[in-house]
Amino acid sequence: MSARQIVESVRCAIGVAGLLATLPGTNIGPVSRTVDPDKIERIWLRAPNWLGDFVMATASFQRVRAAFPNAHVTAGMRPYLRSLAAGADWFDEIVDTPRGGGLAGLWRQVRALRRRRCDLAIVLPNSPATGLVPFLAGVPLRLGYRQGRPGLMNLGRTAPVRRRFWQRRDGPRRMPTPMPQYYHDLLDELGIPAGGQHPVLAVSDEADRWVAQHLRERGVADGQPLLLLVVGANFGSSKLWQPQNFAAVARHFQGRHGMRALVLVGPAEVELGEQIAAEGDALALTAPVLPLETLQAVVRRGALMVTGDTGPRHMANAFDIPVVCLIGPSDPSYTDYCMERTELLRKDLDCSPCQRKTCPLGHHRCMKDITVAEVVAAGERLLLRHGAASG
């Protein structure tokens, strides 16, 4: 089945759901927003798919566990995110929800969820497919944002939108809200006690020991302040700052503060990371590319991070690490939280924020116009305020 056929099938199912929601005698229309925790025994919690969104949702995971201490919470998530839940008590069970699979994969998820006989589904992503699964599985209470999936969510709210799906793409589709607040507001619909919004991550002792040994073997002295450079090209070229600029930043902070610059990469960024390391006398952590459980252990050791709008930026927020963030094509309102230790650099251009993976105009000015001097100055301000490095 082609991608177009899959999309049309999902749209058809959503249309049927929206029609059914208007009919009398159905149980899929809106229900009372207050949920009695004592009557909820089994919960399906569909986690966000992207690393940054997942980290920004961790305070909401914690809030759900606190509100439903006796419920069995099953979390559905991308397989690569599993390790971030290690050591936390948010979930009793984790189920892989890999990307793709077409209608057959969707139906496998429906059947598996139906067997669990959940009382409540909490769906944090906004996609139609993630809302369709608990609807077809017959979960009686389904919490999620309703825009784009009428009838699928009978608990929740509709976020204000800037444009409809048929309108010309020009910036974000919905009105931007910081994602931790976005998730927190959704959970308010359950009538449960308020929670925090600061991300929560835990580093295992095993991961911390591995990182300590790995850095020693690479010549990094114990206690040496670490400058973390995050390449951040995985989303697309629109978020990429020039490699020579990263290299210049590495040389500055190593020379002035005695820091050791570490270049953090994903599997598709190895060559780019090694180029930055070679030009900036830095150390690229590419052999091996760090999985998330050890990546977060490295991030926790950082004295300063320089990054685009990337997933590791939110890891740094979880550990209160100072961050210089080059926001580029992204709308900063989606991630406007934990800003006490963040210096946000952004160019106010007519075309920004576009939220595109590649620059639609071809000039890439939202990133190119951010200078090395601006990044260095922002980093120096953070180090001065938070005393994270010597020199």
Question: Which CATH number belongs to the domain containing residue 339 in this structure?
Answer: 3.40.50.2000
Q: Which residues contact 15 (CB under 8 A, 6 or more apart)?
A: none
- CA atoms of 192 and 187, how far apart (whole Å): 7
- What letter represents residue 78's amino acid? R
Give DSSP secondary structure letters for 104-132.
Answer: HHHHHHHHHHHHHT-SEEEE-S--HHHHH
pLDDT at position 331 is 76
Residue 248 domain-assigned (yes or no): yes
pLDDT at position 94 is 97
Residue 129 domain-assigned (yes or no): yes
- CA atoms of 106 and 143, how far apart (whole Å): 19
Residues 47 and 104 in one domain: yes
Residues 149 and 218 in one domain: no
Residues 174 and 210 in one domain: no
Residue 197 domain-assigned (yes or no): no
Give the angle 192-196-197 at the CA atoms, nearest 5°.
120
Residue 193 domain-assigned (yes or no): no
pLDDT at position 23 is 35
Task: Outline where 320-390 has alpha helix (H).
Answer: 365-368, 372-386
Residue 195 domain-assigned (yes or no): no
Q: Which residues contact 36 (CB under 8 A, 6 or more apart)?
A: none
Residues 161 and 260 in one domain: no
Residues 162 and 22 in one domain: yes
Residues 182 and 268 in one domain: no
pLDDT at position 358 is 74
pLDDT at position 3 is 43
Q: Which residues contact 71 (CB under 8 A, 6 or more apart)?
A: 37, 40, 41, 42, 43, 119, 120
pLDDT at position 111 is 96
Q: What is the 3-state secondary structure (H, E, C) of 251-268?
A: HHHHHHHCCEEEEECCHH
Q: How many beta carbons lie within 10 A of that of residue 202, not counting itself?
A: 15
Residues 100 and 244 in one domain: no
Residue 200 domain-assigned (yes or no): no
pLDDT at position 342 is 95
Residue 239 domain-assigned (yes or no): yes
pLDDT at position 364 is 73
- C-alpha gyration radius of the chain: 22
pLDDT at position 309 is 87
Beta strands in 88-243 (DSSP E): 93-96, 120-123, 141-145, 155-157, 226-230
User: Which residues constitute the domain of residue 340?
Assistant: 205-386
Residues 240 and 129 in one domain: no
Average pLDDT of adjacent 10-residue blocks, the chain of 391 residues = 44 45 44 79 97 97 97 97 93 93 92 97 96 97 92 91 62 77 96 95 95 97 96 68 95 97 94 96 96 97 95 96 89 83 87 70 77 97 81 48
Residue 38 domain-assigned (yes or no): yes
pLDDT at position 169 is 58
* Count of domains for the chain: 2
pLDDT at position 168 is 63
Residues 245 and 374 in one domain: yes
Residues 100 and 217 in one domain: no
Q: Could you say which of 155, 188, 221 is where a domain stops?
A: 188
Q: Could you say which of 158, 188, 218 is where a domain stops?
A: 188
Q: Could you say which of 128, 159, 188 is where a domain stops?
A: 188
Q: Which residues contact 389 (CB under 8 A, 6 or more apart)?
A: 225, 253, 257, 258, 259, 303, 304, 383
pTM of the model: 0.87
pLDDT at position 52 is 94
Residues 236 and 359 in one domain: yes
Residues 259 and 377 in one domain: yes
